[in-house]
Amino acid sequence: MLDWNDLRYFLAVARGGTLARAARLLGINATTVGRRIVALEDQVQARLFDRTPDGWVLTPSGRDLLVRAERIEDEAIALDREIIGADQKAAGAVRVTSTEMLATRFIMPHLPAFHAQHPGITIDLECTTRVVSLARREADVALRLARPREENVVTRRLASVPLSLYAARDYIERCGLPRDPDVSLAGHPVILFADSRSFAVENEWFAPRLDGARVVLRSDSVSSIYAATAAGLGLALLPMAVAAHDPALVRVPTTTSPSPRVIWQAVHADLQRSARVRAVLEFLGEILVAVSE
């Protein structure tokens, strides 16, 4: 009989395409993944993957197993959700996925109060911008800046986060403010978001104002951009809810700003009955709704 754990390794390699990516998905080392796949192939007496220079590719036997393995996975996860959803004890682990900025600047300051109220709950936090599957239990609760679209997921709009242009106070003392930041940032170093669809709104707001300004950093991490701005590297768009209270930063006045970001909370419908998951949802809702107030 096939072991469900072996099928987990198989699914990770099928989805990741390489042992390294599968290992990252599973949180183990690549050697262990490779060894378990070889053992599985020995057990079913069939080659499941072709090892190619570009990665591991499913063979016909592998594709047949994939269909069945995904059905088993769906059943196992559904059972897991059902058990957790029926649990009325406010104790245990709750897996939360969030962006790094939301975690460090919005959630962490309030975490001591949460644990004083719920000492039996452990929050297992993953800071990532990748899309995680709530259906596959990659997380119990997701905080995202785009509305999740998975089936059987309950979403809630928590807060609107306006952005504005900022610079470090010591940078302003050294270099002064742009003469007309609504029109031109020429002569000033600027910090932009990564050149990707995720940050199109912010980068499009910046584009007509650059006017030859020197781009000194691009990043997909808002926390990194915040730290670089506070260090005096240049001008950047930052969330006002945090930057407005930071004495090291000064707002550069402009008549317009990019559209605010929206924080969305998501949980699988089967899990929202769980006492520990409800406690985390209520905690996140309380602290993040206040951001818009």
Q: pTM for this one?
A: 0.68
Cα separation, 84 vs 92, in Å, equals: 10
Domain boundary assignment for the chain: 4-85, 92-160+262-292, 163-259
Domain 163-259 adopts which CATH fold?
A: D-Maltodextrin-Binding Protein; domain 2 (3.40.190)
Query: What pLDDT is recorded for position 111?
Result: 93
Query: What pLDDT is recorded for position 110?
Result: 93
Domains 92-160+262-292 and 163-259 share a fold: yes
Choices 3.20.19.10, 2.60.120.330, 3.30.70.260, 3.40.190.10: CATH for 92-160+262-292: 3.40.190.10
Q: Is residue 7 predicted with pLDDT exceeding 80?
A: yes
pLDDT digits (tens, 9 = 90+) for 65-88: 998 888 887 777 766 666 665 566
Query: What pLDDT is recorded for position 26?
Result: 84
Q: Is residue 115 predicted with pLDDT exceeding 60?
A: yes
Q: What's the mean per-residue pLDDT of the chain?
A: 88
pLDDT digits (tens, 9 = 90+) for 142-191: 999 888 888 888 999 999 999 999 999 999 999 999 999 999 999 999 99
DSSP secondary structure string for all residues of the chain: ---HHHHHHHHHHHHHSSHHHHHHHHTS-HHHHHHHHHHHHHHHTS--EEEETTEEEE-HHHHHHHHHHHHHHHHHHHHHHHHHHT---S-EEEEEEE-HHIIIIIIGGGHHHHHHH-TTEEEEEEE--S---TTTTS-SEEEESS----TTEEEEEEEEE-EEEEEEHHHHHHH---SBTTTB-TTSEEEEE-SSGGGHHHHHHHHHHHTT-EEEEEES-HHHHHHHHHTTS-BEEEEHHHHTT-TTEEE---S--PPPEEEEEEEETTTTTSHHHHHHHHHHHHHHHGGG-
Domain 4-85 adopts which CATH fold?
A: Arc Repressor Mutant, subunit A (1.10.10)
What are the backbone dihedrals phi and psi of residue 238, each rounded to the nearest 5 degrees, phi first?
Answer: -135, 155
pLDDT digits (tens, 9 = 90+) for 128-146: 877 788 877 788 999 998 8
Query: What pLDDT is recorded for position 272?
Result: 79
